[in-house]
Amino acid sequence: MCGKGVSGSPGQAHRRRRRRPAAPPPPRASPPHTAGPRPPGPPVLHPEALAETGEAVRQDLADQGYEAIAIQLPNAEEAKTVEVAAYCWKALGQTGFTRTDVIVGIGGGATTDVAGFVAASWLRGVRWIAIPTTVLGMVDAAVGGKTGINTAEGKNLVGAFHPPAGVLCDLAALDSLPVNDYVSGMAEIIKAGFIADPVILDLIEADPEAARTPAGPHTAELIERSIRVKAEVVSSDLKESGLREILNYGHTLGHAIEKNERYKWRHGAAVSIGMVFAAELGRLAGRLDDATADRHRAVLRSVGLPLTYRGDQWPKLLENMKVDKKSRGDLLRFIVLDALGKPTVLEGPDPAVLLAAYGEVSA
Residue 244 annotated to the active site:
yes
Query: For 317, how many CA atoms within 13 A lie in the half-sphere containing its CB?
Result: 26
Residue 146 annotated to the active site:
yes
Whole-number Å distance between alpha carbons of 359 and 6: 52
Residue 188 annotated to the active site:
yes
* Catalytic site residue from 255, 259, 266, 296: 255
Alpha-carbon radius of gyration of the chain: 21
Residue 280 annotated to the active site:
no
* Catalytic site residue from 67, 77, 78, 240: 240
Residue 150 annotated to the active site:
no
Residue 58 annotated to the active site:
no
* Catalytic site residue from 230, 259, 295, 297: 230
Q: Are 310 and 144 in contact (CB under 8 A)?
A: no
Residue 297 annotated to the active site:
no
Helix extents (H) in 198-287: 198-206, 208-211, 219-236, 251-260, 267-284
> By C-alpha distance, which of 7, 4, 109 is closest to 52?
7
Strands 67-73 and 154-161: unpaired
Strands 154-161 and 146-151: antiparallel
Whole-number Å distance between alpha carbons of 183 and 174: 11
> By C-alpha distance, which of 294, 297, 307 is closest to 361?
307
Element (H, E) at 128: strand 127-132
* Catalytic site residue from 248, 260, 266, 296: 248
> By C-alpha distance, which of 142, 169, 141 is closest to 155?
141
Please report the beta strands in the chain, taking only residues with DSSP state E, as ranges in sequence order.
7-8, 40-47, 67-73, 102-107, 127-132, 146-151, 154-161, 166-167, 333-339, 342-347
3-state class (DSSP) for residue 40: strand
Whole-number Å distance between alpha carbons of 32 and 47: 32
* Catalytic site residue from 267, 295, 296, 297: 267
Whole-number Å distance between alpha carbons of 14 and 12: 5
Residue 230 annotated to the active site:
yes
Residue 14 annotated to the active site:
no
* Catalytic site residue from 14, 46, 212, 251: 251
Positions annotated as catalytic residues are 124, 146, 188, 230, 240, 244, 248, 251, 255, 267
